[in-house]
Structure 1
Amino acid sequence: MALSYKARRRWSLVILLVGLPLYIGFAWWLTSLLPDLPVLVELLVFVALGVAWTIPVRKVFYGVGKDDPDA
């Protein structure tokens, strides 16, 4: 079932205000478990974690910045 435009806007706010800080804390904790890595490898880990959170929620954010298509 597809989400309406209003529902996607609300969920995107919840994800950004609640989910993203939780994910940042999780990523911080996860990277603290890693041993000392070279700078470039560590940069790749941070880039991968920075992109990874967007994959499951991309459908929610799709078209939210545009005008309401139902209006």
Structure 2
Amino acid sequence: MALSYKARRRWSLIILVIGLPLYIVACVTVMNWLGRPPILVELLVYVGLGVLWAFPLKMVFMGIGQADPDDPAEDTTRDDPRS
């Protein structure tokens, strides 16, 4: 079942405001349990975990910054106000 545009906007906000900080805390906690690995290993783990969270949520965030494609009242053919 595909999510509507409004549902994706709501979920993306929840994920960014609540989920991502919880994920960061969980990653730091796990890294602290592992002890202090060499700095390069630690950097690679943090970079990997920093990218890992986005892959399963890619479809939620895709197109969120665009205008609502289902909104017929949205006039997308207006002239550019800067010109």
TM-score, shorter chain, exceeding 0.5? yes
In which range does the TM-score fall when normalised by the shorter chain?
A: over 0.9
Structure possessing the higher relative contact order (Cα contacts under 8 Å, 6 or more residues apart) = 1
Which protein has the larger Cα radius of gyration, Structure 1 or Structure 2? Answer: 2
Q: TM-score, normalised by structure 2?
A: 0.81
Structure 2 unmatched ranges of 5 or more: 72-83
Greater helix content: 1
| Misfit runs of 4+, over 6 Å | none
Q: How much has 1:37 moved relative to structure 2? A: 1.4
Deviations 1:29-48 (A, max 9, x none): 11101132111111000001
Q: TM-score, normalised by structure 1?
A: 0.93
Structure 1 unmatched ranges of 5 or more: none
Deviations 1:5-59 (A, max 9, x none): 0000000000011101110110011110113211111100000110111111111
Q: Percent identity?
A: 59
Counterparts of 1:42 and 1:19, CA distance in 2: 22
